[in-house]
Structure 1
C-alpha cells in the first residue's frame, strides 16, 4: 500500500488509502496535513504505512457515541443478569445518551478531557458520587469493547478521574429502639418480615424471595438462595442472589422458628378462605392472595411504624447494619459475620464496620504488650 505527499500552500500533506469501510464497502482515505517540512510528512507517512502493513492501524470510527452505545448494549446485556439490564439501560439512556454533551460526537474523537468535564457536570447537577462511579464503569466497559472491535485505538476512560464514592452514613438502632419498633408492629402482617430482617441480617430482596422450602425447622437454619427483583415489562421475578457468597445458610433462634410456625398457620387460613383464588407459591412473605409482596409496601409500613414507635428513622438496609453491629459488639469475629451476611469477602465487612472494632484492636495491643512483659519476667526469674 502506497501513499502520496502534496504541498498545500506552505505546508505538506500526506494521503493514504487505508482500505474499505467494513460496513459500507466504500474506499477510505487517511489525510493529514500541516507539516512544515517535506521530511516531516515523509516520516509520518512511513510510520502510518508501517502500522497498516503490520495490521496495527485502526481507521477512526465515524459512529457517534450514542450510535455505538445502542449497538454495544445489545452485546452487553447478554452478559449481565436480567435483573440488572433495566437499571443499566436506564443509566445509559439518561446519562450517556440524553444528558451527555458529547453523545453526538464521533467515538474516535472523544477525549479524556471530555469525560472528566462530563463527570464534573454530573457533580454540579447534584448526582451522587456512587451514581457517577456507575456511569464511569459502564463507559469504561463500552470503550474497552470498542478497542476490541477495532473502532478506536485506545480507551480514553482509563485516564479519566471519576470522583471517589462518598459512603452514606450508617444509622443503626439501639436495643431499646429495636424493642420499641417490634412492640409497635406486633399486630402487623409484616411483623414476621421485620423479625427476619432484625434476627438474620438478610437483604430485603432475600427476605421477600424466601420460600418455606428454604427453612429447615429441625436444623434451625434458613437457606438463602434467591432474591425478589423487578424487571421492566416483566414485573417481579425470583433471581439468584447478589454474589455466589450470598448463597448461604443462616442459623436462627427457636423464638424466630416459633414465629414462622405461627405465620405459616395464618397463611393456611388465607388459603382456605380464598380457595382457588389463592396463588400458593410457597413464599414466606407474600400478599394475602399468595402473590409477590411489593417491596415499596414494606417500606411504607416500616415508615409508619417508626413514626408511631418514635424511633430513629433508618433505611431497611440499616436493619442489616444493626444486626451486624450487634454481632461485632458482642465479639463475633469478622469472618463469621461476613459469612452470615453473605459478603463476597470478609474485607468488605471489615471496611464497613471497622469503626466498631477499635476496642478489639486496643485489646490486641494489650495482649501483645502483656505477652512480651510475661516473657521478660520469666527470663529474669530464670536468670536469678
Structure 2
C-alpha cells in the first residue's frame, strides 16, 4: 500500500505554518493520516517525505513513539518480569536505572541512531562512574570529583558488554512490537569483555589449607560441601534438611536463596532446569553433615523459643536464613588464616571442576555434578588446564615418542 500524498503542501491561516499530510500504513494493516507542519513549504514536503519513506516499503509505523526511558520501563514490567528470575530482573532494572535511562532515556525510539549508541558505549568505557553516578553524595568525606581529584573508576569490559546486551535485547523486542524497523544497537561493535575477571581455581594443597582454616567454624560443613559438590552459593544457602537423604547418600537441589533490593531474602527455583539435580555424597561429606546437624541441634536447644525454625541446613546463629552477603567476610577470614590468594566463594565451584578434571573425571560427569545445561559451558568456563597438568601430558607424549618401536 503506497501512501497517498497531497501534490503540494497547504498554508494554514490558523497556525501560520505550512501543512503537508498523507495516509500511511499502521500496525495490523490499518491506515492513518499523518501531518507535518513547517515554516516553509519546502520543509513541510521534505519532512513528509521522510515520514512516508518507511511506509512505501510496506512497513507499519506507530502513531506515538515513546522515549527509550518509557519503553524500557514498559519492557521490564510487561515483557521481562513474567519470564525471568527475580535476581535477573533486579539486575536488569539496575542496568536500566543506573546506565541506560540516564544515558539514552530522553531519545525517542525512532530517533535513536547508531551514532547515539556508539557514543553511549564510549562514555561507558571512558567515564569515571564515581563522578557519573554522583557517589560523593553518599560519602561523609568527599575524595573524588567533589574535590577535583577524579578516582577514574571505570566499568569493567564485561559490565560494559552486559549493559550493551540489555539495550540490544530491549530494542529487539521493540522491532517485534513494530515500534522500530531495525535494531540500531545490534549494528554497533562492542568488545565482549571476556578478557576480564576469570574464575580462580585453588590447587589441591590450597583447598586442603582452606578446609583446615575452616575446621573449627560453625560453617565448616558449607565449605566442605562447596568444595566436594561445586554447588552455587544460592543452592548451598537454600539447602533444606529434607533435601538430604542420608540413607541413599544423596541430596536434591530444589531451591535457591537470594537477596533482592526492596524484598530482602527470598527463595526461588534453581537457576536452570539442569540446576535442579540430585548430587551424590561421599561418606566424608555425610559425616560432616551429620556433625553439622548435631551442632545445629545444640544451637536450637540453647536458644529455645528464640530459635527461628527455617528447616535450612545452613543458618544464622538464631536459625534464620543466612544473608548471602554475610559469607564474604567469613571467607576472607579463612583466606587470611590459610594464607591464600584472594578468591570468591563462587571460585570454589571452579575449583571443584578443575580438580575433577585433573583427577581424570570425564567432562559430562563434571557437567552433571555442576548442573550445567550444556557441556560447552563446563568446557569454556570451568575446565582450567594448569601448567602442571600440561607438563605431565607433554612428558607422557615425549616418552612415547622416544620409545623404540
TM bucket normalised to smaller: 0.7 to 0.9
Find the counterpart in structure 1 of residue 170 from structure 2: 142
Residue 309 (str. 1) matches residue 338 (str. 2): yes
The alpha-carbon deviation at position 263 of structure 1 amounts to: 0.9
- In the TM superposition, 1:52-67 aligns within 5 A as 56-59=59-62, 61-67=64-70
Q: Identify the match of residue 107 of structure 1 among 100, 106, 109.
A: 109
TM-score, structure 1 as length reference:
0.82
* Mapped contact 2:256–2:268 kept (Cα < 8 A): yes
The alpha-carbon deviation at position 362 of structure 1 amounts to: 6.0
Residue 187 (str. 1) matches residue 216 (str. 2): yes
Deviation track 1:163-208 (CA, whole Å, cap 9, x = no partner) reads 2122413322222222222222222111111111111111111111
Find the counterpart in structure 1 of residue 268 from structure 2: 239
Q: Secondary structure at the match of 2:8?
A: strand
Deviation track 1:49-77 (CA, whole Å, cap 9, x = no partner) reads 655xx5x2314744221122122221122
The alpha-carbon deviation at position 311 of structure 1 amounts to: 1.9
Q: Secondary structure at the match of 2:22?
A: strand
Gap change, CA 1:50 and 1:323, over 3 Å in 2: closer
Find the counterpart in structure 2 of residue 380 from structure 1: none
Q: Secondary structure at the match of 2:6?
A: strand
Q: Distance in 2 between matches of 1:42 and 1:294?
A: 59
TM-score, structure 2 as length reference:
0.78
Q: Secondary structure at the match of 2:312?
A: coil
Gap change, CA 1:44 and 1:232, over 3 Å in 2: closer
Find the counterpart in structure 2 of residue 382 from structure 1: none
Q: Distance in 1 between matches of 2:288 and 2:337?
A: 23
Gap change, CA 1:307 and 1:15, over 3 Å in 2: same
* Mapped contact 1:5–1:42 kept (Cα < 8 A): no
Q: Secondary structure at the match of 1:229?
A: strand
- Unmatched segments (≥5 aa) in structure 2: 11-18, 128-153
* Mapped contact 1:17–1:28 kept (Cα < 8 A): yes
Q: Secondary structure at the match of 2:217?
A: coil
* Mapped contact 1:17–1:30 kept (Cα < 8 A): no
The alpha-carbon deviation at position 228 of structure 1 amounts to: 0.9
Find the counterpart in structure 2 of residue 3 from structure 1: 5
Gap change, CA 1:156 and 1:369, over 3 Å in 2: farther
RMSD over aligned CA atoms reads 3.6
Residue 355 (str. 1) matches residue 385 (str. 2): yes
* Mapped contact 2:26–2:61 kept (Cα < 8 A): no
The alpha-carbon deviation at position 330 of structure 1 amounts to: 0.9
Residue 81 (str. 1) matches residue 85 (str. 2): yes
Q: Is the deviation greater in 283-292 or in 139-148?
A: 139-148
Q: Distance in 1 between matches of 2:52 and 2:331?
A: 71
Q: Is the deviation greater in 142-151 or in 317-326?
A: 142-151
Gap change, CA 1:296 and 1:215, over 3 Å in 2: same
- In the TM superposition, 1:21-100 aligns within 5 A as 28-29=34-35, 50-51=56-57, 56-59=59-62, 61-75=64-78, 76-98=80-102, 100=103
* Mapped contact 1:203–1:317 kept (Cα < 8 A): yes
Q: Secondary structure at the match of 2:35?
A: strand
Deviation track 1:58-111 (CA, whole Å, cap 9, x = no partner) reads 14744221122122221122221223222211111111112x0x3211210101
- Unmatched segments (≥5 aa) in structure 1: 378-384
* Mapped contact 2:156–2:196 kept (Cα < 8 A): no
Q: Distance in 2 between matches of 1:110 and 1:262?
A: 61
Q: Secondary structure at the match of 1:135?
A: helix
